[in-house]
Amino acid sequence: MDNKPRIVSDELTKLSIVGLVLVQLVLANGLYLFLCYAVLFYLLYNLSQPYKPAIFTIVAINHMVQILPGIWLANYVGKDLNFRAFYTDKATILSLVGVLFLFAPLIYQQNKIKSISLSEFRMQAYRFSTSRTLNCYLIALAITSTLSGLAFLYAGLTQIIISVVKIKWFFFLLFGFQVFLKKEKKTVFYLLVAFEFISGFYSFFSEFKTVIYYLAVLLLSFVATINFKQMAIGAIGMFFLIFLGLTWTSVKNEYRTFLNKGKAEQVTSVSKDDALEKLLELSNESQEKKNDGAAKSLLERLQYTYHFAKAIERVPETLPFQNGANWLENIEFATTPRFLNPDKPIIDNSAKATKYTGIRYLGSKQGVSFSLGYFAEFYIDFGPYLMMFGILFLGFIYAMLYKYFLTKSSDNPVYNYAIVGAFFFEFANFEIDGTFLTGRLFASIVTFFALSYFFGKPLLNYISVKNKENKQQAGV
């Protein structure tokens, strides 16, 4: 019997969720919609627990948000699910089964985590100084703002720089947990969220979304009950995100051309003021034009079963299963430093996508990148059945790292929740290329182990408050 605390919901909420899942059966491509929503709510139920890290709730949602749009797109244009690629239905089913295999070890690990109450959670937050944590975040923000601009200029350091940038988000979460638990410096926190959101538009890679995801990781960790009112608020928030997505989709191509001044490079070559002014101009034009193609373009961008389906068309019909060759190459690429292999090539996701989908994509030389997706890579290497064991193995690696950082980083769950939130966010996307996933996993392990072993103790000493001060702040 499952005795773990679960998020409590009222009867109306439960009926609404059940109704939402069942009503999918009467829609076009209803069976696939039904299965997707059933898997989604199964994962949410098992991964979301009161006052536990919500990072894998977000990872699960993000995976499903890249599987579902393939069906939404077919329904939007009024066509069969396989209208773009013959095996989209098979790719969808394999993706759903794969997601269950991926999260099975994580659900097991989440259930093993010791449950804490809100009062205990708050007490642990009072062991830290909010002001000193804010100082750490601001220092990290200044450093990473400089490093981010260098990440793609020096190929040998890209993965490490990206992982170091994640430390800023560790401090963001650590500060955010204290803000909400101790109810202090909320105005400062909201200003920082606004800053991260607005400054994210001054990026070739749409980084304004990142702070939204981290804010969701933070807030969902506090959810203990769900009622119909909360669902309505969530729906309003979802409509806002859809509006934002539609607006961004309609302007991003022209905006990116403005950012890089027409060069075939994924860089920003204009000032922040000019970039934001141009963005506002394009956004206003978008509303005036009411671009009807934005919705279709957004769904095409969100979905990532198309490449998987195209790969199924070609493998093994045209190309044989690779028997692990791609993943062995991914591991070798990630673990071999460039100084040991000066001839190590630059990652070009488009080349792999072109090879296995048969679609000729522009590549890194043209300043663009198209990812095949790591589920498709598991299929190409191992076939539709053995791929599940590869995905399960990846889930075990995630679960072991999750357990380690939750139990070994410190004796304070607030600190540990921030660590795992920052560490695992990088792996939220279903679309991520296998080489990128392997490289960023390896770089993240190095970065966060270094943080724990070399900087963890002095950092904890700096942000911790003395026992007397702790008791005064907590009102004891």
Nearest alpha carbon to residue 301 among 293, 311, 309: 293
Say if residue 387 is exposed, middle or buried (CB neighbours under 10 Å; 0-12, 13-18, 19+).
buried
CB 414 within 8 A of CB 121: yes
Domain-embedded: residue 330: no
Domain assignment of residue 390, yes or no: yes
Give per-residue pLDDT as tens, 1-45: 455 678 888 888 889 899 999 999 999 999 999 999 999 999 999
In a domain, 84, yes or no: yes
Residue 454: both structure tokens together:
């070399």
What is the pLDDT at residue 443? 86
Which range has the worst mean pLDDT, 187-191, 247-251, 406-410?
A: 247-251
Q: What is the mean pLDDT of residues 124-129?
A: 97
In a domain, 26, yes or no: yes
Nearest CA to 3 among 115, 105, 109? 115
Which residues constitute the domain of residue 28? Answer: 8-303+373-474
Q: Residues 244, 247, 250, CA angle at the centre, nearest 5°?
A: 145
Model confidence band, residue 288 (pLDDT cutoffs 50, 70, 90)? very low
Residue 476: pLDDT band (50, 70, 90) is very low
Q: Pick from 62, 102, 61: which is nearest to 402 by CA?
A: 102
Say which residue, 419 or 334, is predicted with more confidence.
419
Per the CB < 8 A criterion, the answer to whether 259 and 268 are in contact is: yes
Q: Please determine, for residue 65, whether its predicted confidence score (pLDDT) is greater than 90.
A: yes
Mean pLDDT of 374-397: 97
How confident is residue 209, by pLDDT bands cut at 50, 70 and 90? confident
Q: What are phi and psi of 226, to 5 degrees?
A: -130, 130
Say whether pLDDT at 188 is over 70: yes
d(CA 79, CA 166): 41
Higher pLDDT, 469 or 263: 263
Out of 177-191, 214-228, 252-266, 268-282, the most confident range is 177-191
Residue 195 lies in a domain: yes
C-alpha distances in Å from residue 309, one per residue of 240, 306, 372? 31, 5, 10
Q: Give a yes or no: residue 351 inside a domain.
A: no
Per-residue pLDDT of 444-465, as tens digits, reads 898 888 888 888 999 999 999 9
Within-domain flag for 348: no
Checking if the pLDDT of 155 tops 50, the result is yes
pLDDT of 200 over the 90 cut: no
Rounded-to-integer distance, Cα 381 and Cα 328, Å: 10
Q: Classify 3 as helix, strand or coil.
A: coil
Instruction: Give the per-residue pLDDT at 71.
Output: 96
Residue 166's identity, in one-letter code, is: K
Would you say 326 and 315 are in contact if contact means Cβ atoms under 8 Å apart? no
How does residue 160 score in pLDDT terms, banded at 50, 70 and 90? low
- On the question of a cis peptide bond just before residue 345, with omega within 30 degrees of 0, the verdict is no
Mean pLDDT of 301-305: 91
Amino acid 254: pLDDT: 74
- For the chain, the domain total comes to 1
Asked if pLDDT for residue 174 goes beyond 90, the answer is: yes
The pLDDT, as a whole number, for residue 232 is 78
Q: Please compute the mean of the pLDDT values over residues 432-452 and round it to a whole number.
A: 89
pLDDT, residue 329, reads: 92
How many Cα atoms sit within 13 Å of 324 on the Cβ side?
6
Q: Report DSSP state, residue 8.
A: E
Q: Which of 44-58, 69-83, 112-126, 154-168 has the lowest mean pLDDT?
A: 154-168
